[in-house]
Amino acid sequence: MSKNIANNQAQQAQQNHLKQWLLIIGVLIIAANLRAPLTSVGSVISFIRDDLGISNALAGSITTLPLLAFALFSPVVPKIAYKFGMNWTIFISLIILIIGIMIRSLFGVNALFIGTMLIGIGIATGNVLLPALIKISFPLKVGLMMGLYGVFMNVFAAFASGLSVPIASIDGLDWEASLMFWGILAIIATVLWLPQLKNHKKQSATQPKPKQASTQTKNGLLKSPLAWHITIFMGVQSLIFYTLITWLPELLYIHGYQAGTAGWMLFLYQFAIIPATFVIPIIAERMKDQRLLAAIVAGLFFVGILGLLTGAKSLIVLSIIVIGIACGSAFSLSMMFFTLRATDGKQAADISGMAQSAGYLLAAFGPVLFGWLKDVTHSWTFSIATLLVGSIILLITGLKAGEDKVISEVKPQKQTVTT
């Protein structure tokens, strides 16, 4: 009898171990899809602009539309997840992502923007839910899992930028085929997520609250200065990232870089992000507060953008690397703010939804404003200068968001989150 019990326990342990690994793999492959469909656009944006005969401002909207989708859809995501479960909500978002990628590439000018909007809705769901899912499923490994999450997201984002022009240059292919290629990655993620649909269990989102809570958060997230500092920090770092993802190749063209080379410089920009996305969450989790990290991030942005503004060709590569490190650090710090400033998994999803909604709405203005300033002034100088202002805003809000506080709900209640 005891031997059978021991065998059953061993089999159960193996099954739990397998389920845990399937969940880890699923989360990481989904993370790989949260930037690649967007970053693949930047390297070929000049091809799209010239082929469709659109302005720089309208071309910039190809990146702006997903950000608007993030802004509009992010607040709704937690409510959908609470009703249908995180796992099913994520699965449906992957289907929407696949459909969006296909529509964007196959059906002409109008479909380009419709498909791009659908891509934004699909990615917005993962953006909001994965940090909360990590907090719930890996409570003792939040820093490590958030680091791996960021690494996978940015590795594939970097390859998407670097490979877009080479794929489009293959005989018989074009920019449409290059953008469609990343639908394969979304299909793989969908298949790997299927086992999680069988693991439809409920987990309590109520956990003991940390001993210190910000007295400024009694009136809820929208009235919390801490929540708004997190939101603005998230929005400004996203604005800088997506603006440069869209226009960095164009900035490089004026310095004599060819399209293919500019694409690989965009790859370098995103490759520089990767180490920071892994290291920063682990460091941030171990620190009492994250104000020093926020100050360093803002400083890196300022120095790197200033290097671009000088126009010195000898500084371009170094500036791109510095900005990449800053982007990776800022994004990871934003994600950690969602979990470190939250009291439980439910609140992490709510903070994530608020910050990504208002934050991405702010970020959506970046690529269009950048292109519009170029059209009006016939120079990139004023466009780049706006990013310098952004680095100063990051310093101010980062110092506040990095304080050792958490956000309190108006009326704390026990709620159930389904996964």
Average pLDDT over residues 366-386: 80
Q: What is the mean pLDDT of residues 292-298?
A: 91
| Ordered alpha helix ranges (H), 181-224 | 183-197
Return the pLDDT at 263. 67
Q: What per-residue confidence (pLDDT) applies to 260?
A: 66
Q: Measured between alpha carbons, how far is 225 from 24 in angstroms, rounded to an integer?
A: 34
- The continuous run of DSSP H or E covering 336 comes out as helix 313-340
Residue with tokens 């956000």: 407
Terminal alpha carbon distance of the chain: 35
Listed residue (124, 101, 125) closest to 111, CA to CA: 101
* Structure tokens that stand for 345 in this block: 């998994």
pLDDT of residue 393: 93
List beta partners, residue 416: 204
Burial-class residue 356 by CB neighbours within 10 Å (0-12, 13-18, 19+): buried
Element at 353 (helix H, strand E): helix 345-377
Mean pLDDT of the chain: 78
The CA-atom distances, in angstroms, between 34 and each of 189, 234, 238, 247, 329 are 11, 16, 13, 20, 17
CB 226 within 8 A of CB 405: yes
Q: Helix or strand or coil: residue 77? A: helix
3-class state of residue 417 by DSSP: strand
pLDDT digits (tens, 9 = 90+) for 5-16: 666 666 666 777
Quick one: what percent of the chain has pLDDT higher than 70?
A: 81
pLDDT of residue 213: 42
Kindly state the tokens that stand for 324: 């990449």
Which residue intervals of 45-141 are DSSP H helices? 45-52, 56-73, 77-84, 86-106, 108-137
The predicted structure's pLDDT at residue 377: 80
| 189 vs 30: CA distance, rounded Å | 6
Report angle CA 306, 309, 313 to the nearest 5 degrees: 105
- How many C-beta neighbours within 10 Å does residue 191 have? 11
Q: Are 154 and 270 in contact (CB under 8 A)?
A: yes
Give the least confident one: 58-62, 206-210, 304-308, 316-320. Answer: 206-210
User: Are 323 and 300 within 8 A, CB to CB?
Assistant: yes
List the one residue out of 298, 310, 328 whose CA is nearest residue 385.
310
Which helix or strand (DSSP H or E) is residue 406 part of? none
Say whether 204 sits in a helix, a strand or coil.
strand
Q: Which fold has domain 12-414?
A: Growth Hormone; Chain: A; (1.20.1250)
* pLDDT the model gives residue 205: 39
pLDDT at position 217 over 60: no
What DSSP assignment string belongs to 214-267?
-GGGTT-GGG-HHHHHHHHHHHHHHHHHHHHHHHHHHHHHTTT--HHHHHHHHH
d(CA 393, CA 268): 26
What is residue 181's DSSP assignment?
T
Tokens of 217: 């958060």
Q: Compute the distance between CA of residue 129 and CA of residue 205 in angstroms, rounded to an integer.
A: 13
Section 116-144 average pLDDT: 83
Q: In this predicted model, which residue has the larger pLDDT, 62 or 214?
A: 62
Q: How far apart are the C-alpha atoms of 348 and 355, rounded to whole Å? A: 10
The domains of the chain are located at 12-414
Closest CA to 194 of 374, 413, 23, 368: 23
